Amino acid sequence: MGQDAQQRVGQSLTALLGNIQPSSESANYESWQENLLLGRLRLSLWLTLTYILTVAAGYGHMAVFLPSEFAEFPAAHRALIFPVFVFMGLSLCLLLALHSTKFGQQYPNLIFLGFSWSVTLVPQIIGTLYGSVYIDILSLCVILLVQAALIPVRWWLHVVSQVGALGYYIGVNLALGSTTVGGEPIYHASIFLYLFWFCFICDLAVFLYERLQRNEFESRRQLQAFLHTITHDLRTPVMGASMLLKNLLNQAGEEIPVNRLILERMWQGSDRQLNLLSSLVEAHDTEMRCLVLHCRPLHLEPFVQSVLVNLEPLLNKNQVTLKNLISPDLPPVSADSDQLWRLFTNLITNAVKHNPPGIELVLKADVEAGMLRCTIQDSGLGIQSEQCPFVFELYARRGRSRYVPGLGLGLYVCRQIITAHGGKIGVNSSLGQGSAFWFTLPISKRANPIGCSNSSN
């Protein structure tokens, strides 16, 4: 079979097997799973080949030196023993050779099934060709145990291998009318019950091990995301303070007079860093799904203006044309000022970061359906329309089994903040047409809204 034909067969079978796979995992977990499967397959193949050779040697010793004991086996069984072991050994050797090829590295699932069926299915096929029924319960249990112990991943592959072997034993023999061997029935309820529980326990062990590993990888991902969030949120105030200090150092003279406004901005930036650290730790403790908000009535126009003043060095550096169209006559919103500061900072810095210098940034807000709808619109490069539903994900999905970083971790944080406030967030964009990020906030109905505190975090 040519290389192209092998690839077509492998792709077809892999696609068929992919339909029964569980939901996609993270990229790191999938990579670990793939590497473990490939590494353990080689070990399992060598171990099983050694087992086959030793058992075959035992039968050979019995046939030569203990012929009376060997004669106690049924004649049909004796005739099949050595052909079965020869074909099992050849199948395992072929799989070992394939394992090291590009085909084997690309389709490890097929190598796994070939490995399993070399011991559980090949003997049955040979028995059928010889006009008899052959199944070695001991070898079947050994191979299932080897699979579960050494390759505890992709439990569905284990199920497929078991169903294939037992399905052939039941279905093909019934179809051929082979129900007895030497006058003895080949179907025993006790044996099937034993095999069912043996297979079930092996599959359950693999499933539980996979779930444990999946949870560990998810915990690592959350920790990594938390560290990235800290870096992302602290970069803006630190960068603002750094720019202010750099501008001061560019002035001539040993003594540099410092404007009070500059000192206030630097103090605000430092205070903002402390508040961000506190809120990030709080957000991580609640796994970013249940932020503890300290809401109070907040007028949006002066609040946004203070955010823009803090971001002024960044906006000037990137030559951003800013239009703040938020009216001072809007009703106050019920919001956590620190979390709302993070929200506006992340959305604005995201627009600046992912676009070339010289963009136009427009901020506006309107009352809509009892909520205050805010929009931050830029004239930048835009986003592909099919990506818009995923830009707020921590890891945006691509294909069946891959997760890749989204357009910015800040957008993920923004969604968590808006969700905690009871609002919605989204983006309208297309390539070359800029992006319009929008979100809604509840309008404050009382001086001190129910369930919120007057103090900010």
Per-residue pLDDT reduced to its tens digit, 415-449: 888 998 999 999 999 888 899 999 999 998 864 43
Q: Given this model, what pLDDT does residue 377 score?
A: 94
The residue that leads in pLDDT, 178 or 50, is 50
Contact 27, 405 (CB under 8 A): no
In this prediction, residues 114-138 reach a mean pLDDT of 86
> Rounded to whole angstroms, how far apart are CA atoms 137 and 133?
13
Q: Which of 37-46, 185-194, 353-362 has the lowest mean pLDDT?
A: 185-194
Contact 272, 332 (CB under 8 A): no
Q: Kindly state which CATH superfamily the domain 226-249+260-442 is placed in.
A: Histidine kinase-like ATPase, C-terminal domain (3.30.565.10)
Q: With H, G, I as helix, E, B as strand and everything else as coil, classify residue 313.
A: helix
The residue that leads in pLDDT, 272 or 297, is 297
Contact 451, 322 (CB under 8 A): no
Q: Given this model, what pLDDT does residue 274 score?
A: 72
Q: Which residue has the tokens 């359950």?
A: 204
Q: Given this model, what pLDDT does residue 287 score?
A: 52
> Rounded to whole angstroms, how far apart are CA atoms 162 and 352?
56
Compute the residue count for the chain.
Answer: 457
Determine how β-strand 333-336 pairs with β-strand 402-405. unpaired
Helix axes 409-421, 189-249, angle to 10 degrees: 100
In this prediction, residues 140-168 reach a mean pLDDT of 91
Q: Does the pLDDT of residue 295 top 50, yes or no?
A: yes
Q: Where are the domains of the chain?
A: 3-187, 226-249+260-442
The residue that leads in pLDDT, 181 or 444, is 444
Q: Does the pLDDT of residue 452 top 60, yes or no?
A: no
Q: How confident is the model at residue 379 (pLDDT cuts 50, 70, 90)?
A: very high
Q: Given this model, what pLDDT does residue 449 score?
A: 39
The residue that leads in pLDDT, 114 or 5, is 114
Q: pLDDT tens, 243-276?
A: 777 777 777 777 777 777 777 777 777 777 776 6
Residue 370: partners with Cβ closer than 8 Å, 6 or more residues away: 443
Q: Does the pLDDT of residue 147 top 70, yes or no?
A: yes
Q: Given this model, what pLDDT does residue 110 score?
A: 93
% of the chain with per-residue pLDDT over 90 = 36
Q: Does the pLDDT of residue 11 top 60, yes or no?
A: no
Q: Does the pLDDT of residue 23 top 50, yes or no?
A: no
Q: Given this model, what pLDDT does residue 113 score?
A: 92
Q: Which of 25-34, 46-55, 337-346, 392-401 has the lowest mean pLDDT?
A: 392-401
In this prediction, residues 297-318 reach a mean pLDDT of 92
Q: How confident is the model at residue 45 (pLDDT cuts 50, 70, 90)?
A: very high
Beta strand segments in 300-434, E: 321-324, 333-336, 360-368, 371-378, 395-398, 402-405, 425-429
Q: Given this model, what pLDDT does residue 455 score?
A: 36
Quick one: 202 exposed, middle or buried, by C-beta within 10 A (0-12, 13-18, 19+)?
A: buried
pTM of the model as a whole = 0.53
Q: Which of 4-8, 128-132, 143-147, 446-450 has the lowest mean pLDDT?
A: 446-450
Mean pLDDT score across all residues of the chain? 80
Q: With H, G, I as helix, E, B as strand and everything else as coil, classify residue 452.
A: coil
> Rounded to whole angstroms, how far apart are CA atoms 13 and 371?
52
Q: How confident is the model at residue 279 (pLDDT cuts 50, 70, 90)?
A: low
Strand-pair partners of 243 = none
The residue that leads in pLDDT, 143 or 395, is 143
> Rounded to whole angstroms, how far apart are CA atoms 449 and 442?
11
The residue that leads in pLDDT, 427 or 74, is 427
Quick one: 107 exposed, middle or buried, by C-beta within 10 A (0-12, 13-18, 19+)?
A: buried
Q: Given this model, what pLDDT does residue 298 score?
A: 92
Beta-carbon count within 10 A of 118 CB: 24
| Assigned token pair, 355 | 């676009």
Q: Which of 44-53, 147-156, 204-213, 411-420 has the lowest mean pLDDT?
A: 411-420
Contact 280, 230 (CB under 8 A): yes
Q: Given this model, what pLDDT does residue 405 score?
A: 36
